[in-house]
Structure 1
Amino acid sequence: MATLSKLKELMSIPGAVAAGEFSDDGRLLAYYGDIDEKSAEIAAMMCAANKMMGNMQAKGWSAYTGKDGFYPVIGFAVAGGKYAACIMGNVGVFVELDKADFDKIFETLSKFI
């Protein structure tokens, strides 16, 4: 489980606006940053749903191609407009897209899986 200190570490990433942890079924477990609780709950559901969809697609791609290595999904990013959500395991950080250093973000997130 991500502690508050780990979420604060994610918030030190340039452009970070919120960080949190979610369960596989989309429940918000913890969050920190410039976001209200209702928005954090919705973000947790979105992250869990995207992780599940990514796993379904990865499993399908493995079956279709006969190649292993796509499943399970460990991490992903979803970007649109001004922000990106970067997720690894069940921990994520929302960042301003124009300030995002994805290598740094996923290096930091990898500490929590």
Structure 2
Amino acid sequence: MATLSKLKELMSLPGAVAAGEFSDDGKLLAYYGDISEKAAEIAALMCAANKATGNMQVKGWSAYTGKDGFWPVQGFAVAAGKYAACIMGNVGVFVELDKADFDKTFETLSKYI
């Protein structure tokens, strides 16, 4: 489980607005940032759903192409509008697109998988 110090480390990343941890079924386990608990709960559901969808897609891709190495999904980013959700394992950080350093973000997130 991500500790508050880990979430605070994620919040120190360029452009970070919120960080959190979620269970595979989408339950919010912890969060830190300037968002409401309800928003964090919805974000946890969104992240778990995207991770599950990604795993379904890569399993299908591997079966179709015969190429291994895509499953399981380790991390992903979803970007829209002004923000991106960057996820590794079950920990993520929401960042402002115009301020984010994605290499640094995923390097930091990779510590938590």
Return the TM-score normalized by structure 2.
0.99
Cα deviation for residue 41 of structure 1 reads: 0.1
Q: CA RMSD in A?
A: 0.3
Q: Which runs of 5+ in 2 are unaligned?
A: none
Deviations 1:34-60 (A, max 9, x none): 110000000000000000000000000
Deviations 1:68-99 (A, max 9, x none): 01110000000000000000000000000111
Cα separation, 2, equivalents of 1:103 and 1:14 = 11
2:34 paired residue number: 34
Cα separation, 1, equivalents of 2:74 and 2:19 = 17
Counterpart of 1:94, as a letter, is F
> How many residue pairs get matched?
113
Counterpart of 2:94, as a letter, is F
Cα separation, 1, equivalents of 2:69 and 2:104 = 23
Cα deviation for residue 100 of structure 1 reads: 1.2
Counterpart of 2:97, as a letter, is L
SS of corresponding position for 1:99: coil
2:94 paired residue number: 94
Cα separation, 1, equivalents of 2:32 and 2:4 = 7
Indicate the percent of aligned positions where both proteins have the same amino acid: 88
Cα separation, 1, equivalents of 2:92 and 2:52 = 15
1:84 paired residue number: 84
